[in-house]
Amino acid sequence: MSRTEPITGYEWLARAIAESGTSHVFFVDAVLRHTLVELGTLGVTRVLAHSEKAAAYMADAYGRVSGRPGICFAQSVGAANLAAGLQDAYLGRAPVIALTGRKASTLQHRNSYQEIPHAPLFSAVTKFSADVDGAGNLPRLFRQAWREAVSGTPRPTHLDLAGHTADVIESGTVAEPTASPATRMGIPPHRPTPPDADIERAAAALTGAKRVAIVAGAGATHSGAGPELVRLAELLAAPLGTSLGGRELVPTRHRLCIGAVGNYGAPPANQIVHEADLVLFVGCHTGDQVTHTWRIPPIDTPVVQIDIDGAELGRSYPNTLGLMGDPKATLQKLVSAIGRPTRDSTYADRAAGIVAAWRETMAPLFASGEAPIRVERLCAEITRALPEDGILVADTGYSGIWSSTCIEMNGAGQQYLRAAGSLGWSFPASLGAKCAAGARKVVCFTGDGALYYHLPELETARRRGIAVVLVVNNNSGFGQSWPSARRQQGNRPGDPRELVLFGPTNFADVARNFGLRGIRVEQPDGIAPALRDALASDETVVVDVATALEPRAPEPWTPPA
């Protein structure tokens, strides 16, 4: 790489970020102040959050929507909080670059104020983490952090910059160009495919099985493999399910779509996949959630698995024929190799019948006129209101189950982002998603228990003019845990409400106190006009929906013992 006239570390970093196409960065003061000032002059929006975790969640969703790393900053004392916020990005496979300050090496291991070792904090939640001791090393390591974030399985990366507020790096000099092919990479940066012989073996296995089911995950979403998945499912007469990370991939009302599979899945999906002779996993890490703790499909089921990360092939299912490659490109070759086989549609017909029967049982709940409002009715109204290119951001727990089983997606422009396990993730994440989404509308679906984590970010939304529709499933408690709390309390002295219930809060009033609009909905017929009003707004609007605590989200089908 040719040398250039030396510039300061902060000038280099700001220019590199701006020239990468990054539109927003997320941070908590005080860190990289010179860099942040320079970013402002270069047109990059600086989003000051109220906690490091919220900044990480914003960067996480920014990365998921943009397909490029979201960038977040924290000073030394905030590094532990920032690392905690990266857990969801790591589990959800989102590209993030986290930058932290740390005290200079001469101050390490001397009981320095506010300083603890950062390497252990970030080791579990990043795929690459490096110390940057001098400004001269910044270009090389920043480029590598970017490559690692978007390559293979996308995940967070971390650079620990010398100086409590990264001041050592900012004040140093750099003599390298700021523009680089590395920082123009998005997901996927490359589209490798398996050898033709492997494709032929997989095609033979798929066409040789009578009952094939397909389960697609976040890797297929990253690859944009939706059309190829639908085409292959149609050729094989194969029921098509997804993980939560693949929820946006295919039209959920397509005849072959069976919905989300696993612990958070609708009842039909697990039953259908359990009956398969062979399961094709596409960009789907076969963890316990999507497999209902490795029971869906049974552990001895023959599997064909496509993943860009070779380490995932056969990780959970021993009888796996692995295809290492980009899901979209690999599916294209697989479709070509399969041709137009003659297939028996009995399995697909049975699957469609099971799904149709389940939808019929749910229809009265989707139309319920009860008050307090049933969550099924709220989900049905969100389905009708979500724009054709809208983005739905859902929290974990019941928010993830309700949204993945009861909200329909069009598979052609809408996106579905969900928390990978961190309660409270969705609201800050929805702000980050909106920063990457431009004019597209973003709807956040959260419970009141989750929203309490990051209520101060209402001020961030107002201050920075970030417009999302924040829908609160407000049942004044952790509804998912309520039956368990009562059961475990039993007849013993004490009140189980102390374990999981909150005092009632009107979040529409809270929104108004933050200078935002709030709409309180207490009757089902009020949901649709409230959502229309909120979606038409150019500011964040809180739609606080008073829902019932008792109704249970759909339970996944479990095979007999």
Model confidence at 393, pLDDT cuts 50, 70, 90, reads very high
**pLDDT tens, 428-459?**
999 999 999 999 999 999 999 999 999 999 99
Looking at 413-454, which runs of residues are DSSP E strands? 415-418, 442-447
CA dist list (Å): 174 to 38, 99, 132: 16, 18, 13
Q: C-alpha angle 138/141/142, rounded to 5°?
A: 75
Q: Residue 303 pairs with which residues in a beta bridge?
A: 279, 320
Q: What's the one-letter identity of residue 427?
A: F
7-184 is a CATH 3.40.120.10 domain: no
- Supply 119's token pair: 């390497």
Asked whether the CA dihedral 87, 88, 94, 100 is positive or negative, the reply is negative
Domains 196-351 and 367-546 belong to one CATH topology: yes
Q: Cβ(549)–Cβ(477) under 8 Å?
A: yes
Mean pLDDT, range 96-112, rounded to an integer: 90
Cα–Cα dist 183/212, whole Å: 40
**pLDDT tens, 234-292?**
999 999 999 999 999 999 999 999 999 999 988 899 999 999 999 999 999 999 999 99
**pLDDT tens, 191-202?**
999 999 999 999
Percent residues over pLDDT 90 in the chain: 91
Q: Which of 440, 255, 437, 269 lies closest to 348, judged by CA? A: 255
Rg of the Cα trace of the chain?
A: 24
Mean pLDDT, range 56-85, rounded to an integer: 97
Class of the CATH domain delimited by 196-351: alpha beta
Report long-range pairs for 7-10 (Cβ below 8 Å, ≥24 apart): 7/173, 7/174, 7/175, 8/34, 8/135, 8/170, 8/171, 8/172, 8/173, 8/174, 9/135, 9/138, 9/169, 9/170, 9/171, 9/172, 9/173, 9/174, 10/34, 10/35, 10/38, 10/169, 10/170, 10/171
Cα–Cα dist 149/155, whole Å: 5
367-546 is a CATH 3.40.50.970 domain: yes
Mean pLDDT of the chain: 96
pLDDT at 3 over 70: no
pLDDT at 112 over 90: no
Model confidence at 354, pLDDT cuts 50, 70, 90, reads very high
Model confidence at 2, pLDDT cuts 50, 70, 90, reads low
- Beta strand 173-174 pairing with 7-8: antiparallel
Mean pLDDT, range 518-543, rounded to an integer: 98
pLDDT at 484 over 90: no
Give the per-residue pLDDT at 483: 86
Q: Where are the domains of the chain?
A: 7-184, 196-351, 367-546
- Supply 43's token pair: 């047109």
Give the per-residue pLDDT at 308: 97
**pLDDT tens, 114-147?**
888 999 999 999 999 999 999 999 999 999 999 9
- Supply 541's token pair: 């609007």
Give the per-residue pLDDT at 108: 81
**pLDDT tens, 361-378?**
999 999 999 999 999 999
